[in-house]
Amino acid sequence: MTIDWADGFEIRVSIDNDAVVISANKEGLLSLAQHLRALAEEPAGSHIHYDEYNSLEERSAELTIEKLAIENPARH
């Protein structure tokens, strides 16, 4: 899977009262959108891992997004 980044992206992930908060500038949001689209085309179980060492701003919480193996049509 190819992961591309828009120039100047900034993404932070934090946990606030058990809620995950993703904060990003325009370039960060566009990058994440491209990553999600690419992940959707991958086999079940594929994932993208983000942390402060490869993509997130300093002191961000780690984030993993995984494609489910089973899709549940009852949940929309």
Alpha carbon distance 56, 9 (integer Å) = 9
Quote the pLDDT of residue 76. Answer: 55
Confidence of residue 26 (pLDDT cuts 50, 70, 90): very high
- pLDDT tens track for 27-75: 999 999 999 999 999 999 999 999 999 999 999 999 999 999 876 666 6
Task: Record the pTM.
Answer: 0.84
Q: Using CA atoms, how far apart are residues 25 and 49, in angstroms rounded to an integer?
A: 19
Please tell me the predicted confidence (pLDDT) of residue 71.
64
Query: Any idea what the Cα angle at residue 62 is, between residues 21 and 8, rounded to 5°?
Result: 75
**DSSP secondary structure string for all residues of 27-60:** HHHHHHHHHHHHHHTSPTT-EEEE-TTTTSPTTP
DSSP symbol at 16:
E
Q: Higher confidence at residue 73 or residue 9? A: 9
Structural domains counted in the chain: 1
The residue range of the domain holding 60 is: 11-66
Residue 73 lies in a domain: no
> Is residue 17 one of the residues assigned to a domain?
yes
Is residue 47, in this structure, part of any structural domain at all?
A: yes
